Amino acid sequence: MTAVSDNLPTAALQRLDAAHHMHPFTAGAELAARGARVITRADGVWLTDSEGNRILDGMAGLWCVNVGYGREELAEAAARQMRALPYYNTFFQTTHVPAIALAAKLAELAPDDLNHVFFAGSGSEANETNIRMARHYWARKGKPGKQIIISRRNAYHGSSMGSASLGGMAGMHAQGGLPIPGIVHIDQPNWWAEGGEMSPEEFGRARARQLEETIAALGEDRVAAFIAEPVQGAGGVIIPPESYWPEIQRICDAHDILLIADEVICGFGRTGEWFASQSYRIRPHIVTVAKGLASGYQPIGGSIVCDAVAEVIGGGEFNHGYTYSGHPVACAVALENLRLLEEERVVEHVRDTAAPHLARAWAGLADHPLVGEAVSRGLLASLALTPDKGARAPFAEPGAAGLICRERAFANNLVMRHVGDRMVIAPPLVITPAEIDELIARARAALDETHAALDARGLMGAAA
Ligand SMILES: *Cc1c(COP(=O)(O)O)cnc(C)c1O
């Protein structure tokens, strides 16, 4: 067999891919029939595929390449660390400099008394840690009955058994016997789709109060924690009404449960602060991180834990950990990534330049006949596609418009993702205003072509 390299024709790569590579969240047969797009190189916010197309990456990979592609400093940091110490574990009374340095740096960046880090290889793994840590915390505090974790429908917390159980994705729960016991879901603060006649602020408070009602129904002595993304990402970039988080915080304070903020997407500058917990004034006991921590250059995640929880957990042996917890190469790359974000003032660039520019330009898409709402927070933005703006109506055939729009975006060399009939973007944080304008122009072209395609196929009907 000839060596597989990017010298092979695209069709040959696609055939081998379809024959041997099982893709995440993909219908294999459909992918095989159409062929996957083969990405070969990237630089800044631009991807290059095997046909030589240059594509604007409106999704920063999977919400992770915050610092942009092609940073030599990160490649160098990885190579340096691989030569010095490619691997060592952090079990059994050992440690190494990259893990020490990254934990100390995260403690410095994270708000309040979030001073301790338990490393994992991904966001899913970190949330597995959080389930066990929250339950074990209460057991050690002499309250072993506090085991239930409350989460939200249409939340995303990962794809492993525990993390997908925390998530509220019906399609995931339908496969593989989820959720695990002791996970309870409340409704999401998605005003556009579910707010009915309420104002956004009334609705935000009402959805937050479901947490209090659920704690009351279950009994406070059975609830360990509430977990949520400050802004839901994979659920469609659902930006909560301003009334939501203050009410959630009040309820967590009043009822002696842990608050876990899943900042896997929101962390490291995405909302214009280092953490969205700062943007929304949330005081979590545990923060989940991954994705932007190493800008996706290395797989790494972790739980940043407050003093009180760390003290209780550390008082005995926590029988938990991963071979790659605190992997030295991943930690070295993460540290270098954080150095770049800090020295190049990338978080300030998001807050002062990129996010305000995107907010104005993105909001302009609301005049498009297909767009029901166009919202953003930091460099997270979404559009609700609708056949009837005034009624905030969903399509009769849900998901078709979103899928067509994603494909039309791709045809215009823009990566814009769809979640049902919501379109979402989360570009690299280093995106410039000129690149944002280019992104918006391509998104508008995709919307126009989607509108024409929906008309031609008779798909503009609203759900009854
Ligand atoms: C992506 C994501 C995860 C899971 O992270 P993986 O690294 O894919 O395991 C968890 N929580 C949130 C909010 C995410 O967006």
* CA 266 to ligand 1 centroid distance, Å: 11
pLDDT given at position 28: 87
pLDDT given at position 173: 97
Residue numbers of the domain that contains 355: 44-67+345-457
pLDDT given at position 407: 97
* CA 229 to ligand 1 centroid distance, Å: 10
Q: Give the whole-angstrom CA distance, residue 270 versus residue 351.
A: 9
Which numbered atom of ligand 1 lies nearest the CA of 124? 9
Residue type, 118: F
Residues 34-66, buried b or exposed e (16+ Cβ, 10 A)? Answer: eeeeebeebebbbbbbbeeeebbbbbbbebbbb
Reading the block at residue 115, the tokens are: 């001073």
Residues 412-436: tens digit of each pLDDT: 999 999 999 999 999 999 999 999 9
pLDDT at 443 > cutoff 70: yes
Domain C-terminal end among 320, 343, 366? 343
pLDDT given at position 174: 97
Decide the pairing of beta strands 258-262 and 286-289.
Answer: parallel
From 358, 334, 351, 163, select the one nearest 275 (Cα to Cα): 351
Which numbered atom of ligand 1 lies nearest the CA of 234? 15
333 and 267 housed in the same domain:
yes
From 96, 91, 78, 224, select the one nearest 151 (Cα to Cα): 224
Mean pLDDT computed over 66-88: 98
pLDDT given at position 464: 79
| pTM confidence score | 0.98
Residues 356-391, buried b or exposed e (16+ Cβ, 10 A)? Answer: ebbbebbeebeebebbbbbbbbbbbbbbbbbbeeee
- 166, 339 Cβ separation under 8 angstroms: no
Q: Is 61 in the pocket of ligand 1 (CB under 6 A)?
A: no
Q: What is the number of domains present in the chain?
A: 2
Which numbered atom of ligand 1 lies nearest the CA of 163? 10
pLDDT at 7 > cutoff 90: no
280 and 163 housed in the same domain:
yes
Q: Give the whole-angstrom CA distance, residue 174 versus residue 263.
A: 26
Which numbered atom of ligand 1 lies nearest the CA of 233? 15
Domain C-terminal end among 308, 343, 378? 343
Q: With respect to residue 37, please indicate whether it lies within any of the assigned structural domains.
A: no
Q: Give the whole-angstrom CA distance, residue 171 versus residue 296.
A: 26
Rounded mean pLDDT of the chain?
Answer: 97
- 235, 426 Cβ separation under 8 angstroms: no
pLDDT given at position 5: 82
pLDDT at 1 > cutoff 80: no
* CA 291 to ligand 1 centroid distance, Å: 7
Residues 124-183: tens digit of each pLDDT: 999 999 999 999 999 999 999 999 999 999 999 999 999 999 999 999 999 999 999 999
pLDDT given at position 205: 98
Which numbered atom of ligand 1 lies nearest the CA of 158? 4
Q: List the residue whose alpha carbon is closest to atom 5 of ligand 1.
A: 123
288 and 217 housed in the same domain:
yes
pLDDT at 2 > cutoff 70: no
pLDDT given at position 78: 98
pLDDT given at position 6: 77
285 and 352 housed in the same domain:
no
Q: Is 301 in the pocket of ligand 1 (CB under 6 A)?
A: yes
Q: Is 122 in the pocket of ligand 1 (CB under 6 A)?
A: yes
> Strand pairing partners for 260?
227, 286
Mean pLDDT computed over 88-117: 97
Residues 219-266: tens digit of each pLDDT: 999 999 999 999 999 999 999 999 999 999 999 999 999 999 999 999
pLDDT given at position 4: 84
Q: Is 156 in the pocket of ligand 1 (CB under 6 A)?
A: yes
pLDDT at 198 > cutoff 90: yes
Q: With respect to residue 191, please indicate whether it lies within any of the assigned structural domains.
A: yes
52 and 84 housed in the same domain:
no
